[in-house]
Amino acid sequence: MSEKAMLFARKLTRRAKRHAEEEGFTLVELALAIIVVAIGVLAVAALISAGLDLSAKAIADTQSAIFADSLFNVLRCKSLTEAEQSTGDVDKFVEFWIRLRNNQTSVTVVADEAWGTVCTESIGGVGPVNNVLVASAGPHTLIYRHEDDTNLVSHVLRYDLDVDLLYGDTVQWSNRAMCTLRVWEGEFGSTADDNAIMFYSEFVNPGDL
């Protein structure tokens, strides 16, 4: 082979090597690609986790709202029943709300059968039962368990019921009672107002019906 042919062959070889190097990827480029893919996977995982958290919170909010609706309906029926039993000298409506405010009585709220649960509640040490005794001066804990003695918890909520006077201490219960219900999700955690779902209702004294 002539010298010119050898030089030409070497030139072609070097050109081929440079072309191969330009077509390939460096380790830095591969590392950057792996980092981008990893960030994408983590972002998807975070979205899945956030979606599950939002779903659980929506369920807990619904359960709290059902409990509040049941409680206020029972309080309304109970206070009207007491008002019907009032006489000229005794206002049963007033007596009931004073006892409830002082945590001297409770009302019975039926556990929601749609959840297929029984409830272990913290008032009086009774449970599991199908009815829930609700009193003021909390927070109290309600633990709803699945039936058939599985002892598996369906959901847990804590609540605090405040009963207020309309005109302060000078005129007690002459017009209406005001109730503020705070509900917290779960058995443990902060019971600050910022973490509570708050419900409010007023109950008018109709007098002797």
Give the number of domains in the chain: 1
User: What is the per-residue pLDDT for 3?
Assistant: 63
Do the domain assignments include residue 7? Answer: no
Do the domain assignments include residue 175? Answer: yes
Do the domain assignments include residue 23? Answer: no
Amino acid identity of residue 141, one-letter, is T
Do the domain assignments include residue 80? Answer: yes
SS3 of the chain: the string is CCHHHHHHHHHHHHHHHHHHHHHCCCHHHHHHHHHHHHHHHHHHHHHHHHHHHHHHHHHHHHHHHHHHHHHHHHHHHHHHHHHHCCCCCCCHHHHHHHHHHCCCCCEEEECCHHHCEEEEECCCCCCCECEEEECCCCCEEEEEEECCCCCCEEEEEEEEEEEECCCCCCCCCCCEEEEEEEEEECCCCCCCHHHCEEEEEEEECCCCC
Q: Are 92 and 83 in contact (CB under 8 A)?
A: yes
Do the domain assignments include residue 134? Answer: yes
Do the domain assignments include residue 135? Answer: yes
What pLDDT digit, counting tens, does each position of 158-207 carry?
888 888 765 545 445 557 788 888 888 877 877 777 788 889 888 877 76
Please, which pLDDT band fits residue 22 given cuts at 50, 70 and 90?
A: low
